[in-house]
Structure 1
Amino acid sequence: MVALTDLFDSYARQARLFPGLLTVFPPLLTVLAWFPQLLLSNVGTTLLTIAVSCGLLYALGSWARTRGKNIEGSLLKQWGGWPTTLKLRHAGPLNPLTLARYHDFLRQNVPHWLPPMPDEEKANPAKADGAYDSAVIWLKEKTRKRFSLVDKENAQYGFRRNLFGMRPIGIVVCALAAAASILAIYVQTTQFTMSAVWAASSAQKPEVWAATAIDFVALIAWLAVVNDRWVRQAGDQYADALLAACDQLTVKSRAAPRKRKKC
């Protein structure tokens, strides 16, 4: 049997596989509550082995990532750009002294990079953002696998983004699982009376009601928790951790500031 660690590294498990599993978990739990023999027999083990061996779990994680990347474009348009880019702007939210320190570090270490001046940023925002994006790409490569906090925040952002991408599917499957479970209880009655409903409900095993409750809780979470603000929060936290690495990376020996050529 292929191990999950052979298919997914730490980032892929958290950011890709987990959103996919959380999407299918409530309906799967409902099925197992109604048909526990699937779990108690060798059928469940066989299905899991087939799922892993045939790459179905890998496909699930890849699907979650694809939906997350598809939704990312609209999120960036809504936010006005990457959180790291927004924070590197002169008109951004960072303290001026902190911003100057980050710009100074990047100017000294990123090859052929100069921070846009405030008037340049205002005159050509797209060009300025391109310069900031270039510096961030360099910074990502320098911090990759070296800063645990950056890696954790990056995985957290990927998890929330991909889960947000799976949100429409999660809402539908949770609603269907809960409705199917309630309907299955009802159809066991022969008359639509309170006594019949109570008799049917009392005959159900606790795990059936527990699974149904989880469906409703998951549905509420999809609707109330998983949203663009939740993803943006993770994006800001990742941006803060990534830019803070500027204060920890080894700085090259200070050279004389490069002067801009006069036109």
Structure 2
Amino acid sequence: MDFLDTYSIKARLFPALIAILPAFVLFLLAGSWQSPGLPEVMTGLGIGVLFYAMADLARRAGRRVQKRLFRESGGHPINAELRHSDTTLDPGTRDRFRNFLADQIGKPAPTPEFEIEEPIATSRFYEDCFTFLRNNTRDTDQFRVLFNENISYGFRRNLYGLKPYGIAINAIAVLAACVLYIYQPSLGALSQGKIFVQGGFALLHALYLILAVTKHSVLDASKTYARELTMSCDVLIRNSKK
């Protein structure tokens, strides 16, 4: 049943559905729905299996593309708002969050001079802060906004990982539609009107994947998640005083 939790549905199943939509549309257009028979049943089962497989692939493809994106961009965002040089938060809030995290991980908070002189040690400090926050904000009821941002990031990352597969499925669906239209086999056929519907949907689907599913959208979501993770310090500080 873990496959049906909120994160899996929104961050893995939804990207998989978007990736295989051209095949599903072709199935609906080519099937005989007045008297569905064995071809429709078998094709439907095949798409169901493909849907499940694509959801699993979404997770693995998303993780692979995440490593590449963060390697190219200099690493994943690690609570940049806590650095002395960052002006996102007011100095008082920034210092309060940084000092709290320093106490939790058992390391001294870096000074402005230390951040400049020891960039590697500074990065390790903020990596430890990031890990602490990740491990202590898993309560999805208490950190609902953070959980939603994590879903948003997971959805964009996994869909970006599936992008080449989605484009390939789109092309195969268009090719299959042309074959069905030309040869009109008994297992499924398309009229001229339906072939235009398939082609129009394929065009919109391809444009969405090319223009909207981008490296920038994934990195933007990762920064938003990291920023919300920093803001979760407020809740953790309140909890520590109870």
Aligning the two structures, in what range does the TM-score lie when normalised by the shorter sequence?
0.7 to 0.9
Instruction: Pick closer, same or farther for the CA change 1:28–1:252 going to 2, 3 Å.
Output: closer
Q: Does 1:210 align with 2:197?
A: yes
Aligned counterparts of 1:81 and 1:152: Cα–Cα separation in 2: 22
Query: In the alignment, which residue of structure 2 is the partner of 1:74?
Result: 68
Query: What's the CA shift string for 1:161-186, capped at 9, x where partnerless?
Result: 0111111111222233235435655x
What do residues 124-147 of structure 1 show as CA deviations (whole Å, max 9, x unaligned)?
323222221211121122221221
Could you say what secondary structure the match of 2:57 adopts? helix
Partner of 1:65: 59
1:149-188 aligned at under 5 Å gives the runs 149-182=145-178, 185=181, 187=182
After superposition, residues 1-263 of structure 1 pair within 5 angstroms as 7-37=3-33, 40-41=36-37, 57-92=51-86, 94-95=88-89, 97=91, 98-108=93-103, 110-144=104-138, 145=140, 146-182=142-178, 185=181, 187=182, 204-206=192-194, 208-249=195-236, 250=238, 252=240
Please, what TM-score do these two structures have when normalized by structure 1? 0.75
User: How much identity, in percent, do the aligned residues show?
Assistant: 27
CA contact (8 A) 2:97 2:233 kept: yes
Q: Distance in 2 between matches of 1:39 and 1:112?
A: 69
Structure 1, unpaired ranges of 5+:
189-200, 254-263
Size of the aligned set, in residue pairs, is 232
* Structure with the greater alpha carbon radius of gyration: 1
Deviates more, 1:227-236 or 1:115-124: 115-124
Higher relative contact order (CA 8 A, sep 6+): 2
User: Is residue 25–residue 198 contact of structure 2 (8 Å, CA) maintained in 1?
Assistant: yes
Residue identity opposite 1:137 in structure 2: T
Task: Give, in angstroms, the shift of residue 79 of structure 1.
Answer: 2.6
CA deviation after TM superposition for structure 1 residue 65, in Å: 0.9
Deviation at 1:154, TM superposition (A): 0.2
Supply the distance in 1 between the matched residues of 2:152 and 2:171 (Cα, whole angstroms): 26
Ranges in structure 2 where 5+ consecutive residues have no aligned partner:
184-189
SS of the equivalent of 1:94 reads coil
Q: Which residue does 2:186 correspond to in 1? A: none
Over 3 Å counting, the alpha-carbon distance change for 1:42 and 1:149 in structure 2 is: farther
For residues 178 and 93 of structure 1, the distance between their equivalents in structure 2, rounded to whole angstroms, comes to 50
Which residue of structure 1 aligns with residue 187 of structure 2? none
- Whichever residue aligns with residue 132 of structure 1, its letter is Y
